[in-house]
Structure 1
């Protein structure tokens, strides 16, 4: 029996049902929007966040009313986009951050430059650094770390526990529904506009997400991202093309991608099997990770 036959209507409906069961937890930040988390007497009152996943964690903790600004990668939830911006997290300005008089800066792994973070700390602002990685355990630790920095230890334990419960459920369902299937070969394309198309190898968020979703990265043997050639695209023989968008995307991702050299001549291109996700949702490794893995698995196995 073919993989597509195995994933007939019943399986698709079941996938939607269990994914839907996870979604209320993903929206926990929105549920907290009208309330404050408990504020410890010695907790920070003026918080700046540099990192989209960290912003999501703050909202999941219900502590968003303490945030006075965030960076340009903080795109979820929608309310976070309306806060003052400190610029792009890799090119922060000490003067810009300090002008807002924060008492805490939550700095993601990519935040910097390092000398700017040192200047901010030297001015008396607590700078809490967070690690880089592609595991659920790291997300759990970051939830606890943000909670501890904001003096919300009990809330951190609660949210981290719920996150790990959702993660175990999502991973179990992916294995149950797709573990016996042929793993689809997926080519992840980071940029699909302009002249430079970048694809993901190993040691990337995309590679990790595909593995969690029971799929195979169609390009391996190198780390990070590299430009895609037409020859490499055809040789990769992907079953599915996966890409990301940031914010509203006026163009159809399939049309844009398949105009790139070589991609239309792949099995995915000929069948127009193109899957697109919001970049922060797919690659952010924040509190929505279980939902993102569940949805990715459903879409790459059934597209």
Structure 2
């Protein structure tokens, strides 16, 4: 477990300041895990441990914000980042900006005593400035795993003084997760692991997910194999790559479909024309924050993805 005091936290932030963070949050490879042995820790993975419950809390993660509401601690929330849009009430909280492009002034203007987030948050120099202002900053390691979800739940429990409720939530979701993963393992053992391609099309230029992305991990958790190998992060969708990859199914987000004008226009892209997925029009589309946010709805997302994959004809 990596637990740093403020001095260590500031040194970490300053040393990482040169690592610029840009682009969509989900279109980024996972950062290296500082302590590979840490599993489901009760303390925040990076930063300082909240010693007392927050009175004025800011969340820098949509998943953490969702957990705050599930634990009934939303009265402590004075602000959140722009990925915090679920439940609907969270979308109405004062926003401090995009999680990778924060400004200390915007965060500090809401007078928080505690800020919680993941290691996706930044720039690091801004986190340093917030900590220097006397605010407790606690970050959970983001590694696109089920353990990440449990770490998030327990951090929110600490930060809000609702540890018992957090443990109950973690245990309930663990049961759901175990059931879902048992189904996935059975399908994979039976040879049902379709070749899948994740397409992120929230902007005008669709991107495909390679390794070390939230989408890559999600496909594996759902029982699919990612056809995009040999690179990390996201790359533009190209006809040559699609023909070689030959995905059986396209996985995307409902927001992405809306952005391009619906499923019919999505399939009209010439890059997809030579794929088995295009021939059979096989697609699974789910809401973005549920699919890629690695929050408390992850068991539901993986279950829905798995069921969609099972519907594909071998």
TM-score (norm 1): 0.81
3-state DSSP of counterpart to 1:189:
strand
Equivalent of residue 51 in structure 1, options 54, 61, 69? 61
Residue 244 of structure 2 aligns with which residue?
Answer: 235
Question: What does 1:1-303 correspond to in 2, within 5 Å?
Answer: 42-176=52-186, 179-191=189-201, 193-194=203-204, 196-246=205-255, 249=258, 251-303=260-312
Say how many residue pairs are matched: 262
3-state DSSP of counterpart to 2:273:
helix
The structure where helix makes up a greater share of residues is: 1
CA distance in 2, matches of 1:229, 1:262: 6
Residue 31 of structure 2 aligns with which residue?
Answer: none
Q: 1:299 to 1:150 in 2, by over 3 A?
A: same
Q: 1:237 to 1:250 in 2, by over 3 A?
A: closer
Choose 237-246 or 276-285, whichever is displaced more.
237-246
Contact 1:52 1:280 in 2 (8 A): yes
1:80-114 superposed Cα distances (whole Å, 9 cap, x missing partner) = 11111111111111111111111111122211111
Choose 249-258 or 93-102, whichever is displaced more.
249-258
3-state DSSP of counterpart to 1:243:
strand
Contact 1:201 1:225 in 2 (8 A): yes
Choose 269-278 or 293-302, whichever is displaced more.
269-278
Residue 13 of structure 1 aligns with which residue?
Answer: none
TM-score (norm 2): 0.78
CA apart distance, 1:173:
2.5
1:42-90 superposed Cα distances (whole Å, 9 cap, x missing partner) = 5211111111111112122221121111111012111111111111111
Query: Which structure 2 segments of 5+ residues have no match?
Result: 1-50
Q: 1:262 to 1:180 in 2, by over 3 A?
A: same
CA distance in 2, matches of 1:175, 1:128: 34
CA apart distance, 1:205:
1.3
3-state DSSP of counterpart to 2:100:
helix
CA apart distance, 1:177:
5.2
RMSD (Å), alpha carbons: 2.0
Query: Which structure 1 segments of 5+ residues have no match?
Result: 1-40
CA distance in 1, matches of 2:131, 2:69: 24
Q: 1:216 to 1:181 in 2, by over 3 A?
A: same
